[in-house]
Amino acid sequence: MAYKLPELPYAYDALEPHIDARTMEIHHTKHHAGYTNNLNAAIEGTELEKMSLREIFAHVSKHPVAVRNNGGGYWNHKLFWEIMSPDGGGQPSERMNIYKALMRDFGSYEEFKKQFSAAAATRFGSGWAWLCVDKGDKLFITSTPNQDNPLMDVADRKGTPILGLDVWEHAYYLNYQNRRPDYIEAFYNVINWQKVTENYNDANEGASKF
Ligand code: MN3
């Protein structure tokens, strides 16, 4: 079954002024659509058509590089759209499990933000910054190059991503030009913590959460 470009859960201009409408539209209709089409072309007629992306990522180093790049591009952007919202931003509610986990593993929201921003700012060239859950249900921050992600066997540190920030220039250049740190700071105004806490709760099925 072919992958379909997911619809955005909000309008292209919904995240303004933090992320501009033109960037969102090109990012979705050109970049994400391209990864989706190229993923379908890369797996068509192969055994990979019957496997989930998570299964493919777990052994991605054995598959053609087009599967790694476009499978990652499809999956990463799908997560990215979902963890942003015009109603988002600020700290997560104290009632959310993700708030409790952030406090447990980083000590404060500010410390989480500092580490996440550093990961996003220091990723050289194109890639992603991630907040992940490891097998022991502990949160950690990492970054990956290109369209890799921490579900892939090639990742330096493996885990389940629950929040991701695209730091490719195509994600910010129209509005921020070379000012990646300004784009990173703006991102905190649109994080959909409701979705991130759902992702956290869904990770490590069976793990006890508070
Ligand atoms: Mn992108």
pLDDT in tens, 116-163: 999 999 999 999 999 999 999 999 999 999 999 999 999 999 999 999
* 61 CA to centre of ligand 1 in angstroms: 22
What is the mean predicted confidence (pLDDT) over 61-78?
98
* 24 CA to centre of ligand 1 in angstroms: 10
Q: What angle do CA 41, 45, 46 make, to 5 degrees?
A: 95
Dihedral over Cα of 154, 160, 165, 170: its sign: positive
Q: How confident is the model at residue 196 (pLDDT cuts 50, 70, 90)?
A: very high
What is the distance between the alpha carbons of residues 37 and 158, in angstroms, rounded to a whole number?
A: 27
pLDDT at residue 4 above 90?
Answer: yes
What is the mean predicted confidence (pLDDT) over 28-44?
98
pTM above 0.85, yes or no: yes
The SS3 of residue 8 is coil
Q: What percent of the chain has pLDDT over 70?
A: 99
Determine phi and psi for 132, rounding to 5 degrees: -125, 165
Whether residue 161 contacts residue 151, with contact meaning beta carbons closer than 8 Å, is answered with yes
| Ligand 1 ion local residues (Cβ < 5 A) | 166, 168, 171
Segments of 99-197 assigned E as strands: 127-133, 139-145, 160-166
* 167 CA to centre of ligand 1 in angstroms: 7
C-alpha torsion angle, residues 113, 152, 83, 197 (rounded to 10): -80
Contacts of 128 (CB under 8 A, 6+ apart): 76, 143, 144, 147, 148, 149, 164, 165, 166, 167
* 97 CA to centre of ligand 1 in angstroms: 28
* 103 CA to centre of ligand 1 in angstroms: 30
